[in-house]
Amino acid sequence: LARFGILSGLGFGAVASISAYIMSVGFLTFGGACRGMILNNYSTLDGGATLCRLLMGVSLLGSYAFLGQAMKKAYYHIFHRGQEVSDKMHIRTTRGFVGVLTGLALLVEDAGFVVSVTGAVLGSALIYITPSYLFLRSTKRRTDNGSLEWTNMLKLERWLNRVLIVLGVFLGLSGAYMSVLNSFFRHLL
């Protein structure tokens, strides 16, 4: 366990150092004149930036199906919980969500907005919410079947994981809110 802690600390430290270096180079390159989508700062004649724009487009296009599937699952879970979903309903729901997503894609001119909102919400979910939720579910299942006993330390860990979930929701919503302000209401910043 001590080795795991050391390796985790070294890994997180290395990632933090690399991220700080990349952010510093980006800021020193463009300063305060940096646009929301970093690739828009480069010339359209820059081959490397053009390739990155193409790859960003492929990434956004690839995430389209994942976002649509997640929206459908959430919709079914909220509005049709425990009900059988017919093929007709599935097709209508798919068409509706694809229509909504396509409409939003046509309205949003800056891909940086989409990337920043997606990053804020999904990043927060991936970092804070999902691991904590999995821990809470796992420990509940194991305490219910008797393979794990309730201790004060377990109660503290479960409480801290609930705090992380609340923090993740707050940070995700804050990041999305700031992305909206930055893209559509710059005068308020």
Instruction: Report pLDDT digits (tens) over 107-122.
Output: 777 767 777 888 888 8
**Please, what's the b/e burial string for 24-62 (b: 16 or more CB within 10 A of its CB; e: otherwise)?**
eeeeeeeeeeeebbbbeebeeeeeebeeebeebeeeeee
Closest of 82, 130, 75 to residue 98, by C-alpha: 75
**Other Cβ atoms closer than 10 A to 121:** 19
Model confidence, pTM = 0.60
Q: What percent of the chain has pLDDT over 70?
A: 97
Q: Hunting for tokens 């994942």 — which residue is that? A: 66
Dist. CA 125–CA 164, nearest whole Å: 10
Dist. CA 136–CA 142, nearest whole Å: 10
pLDDT of residue 66: 77
pLDDT of residue 1: 67
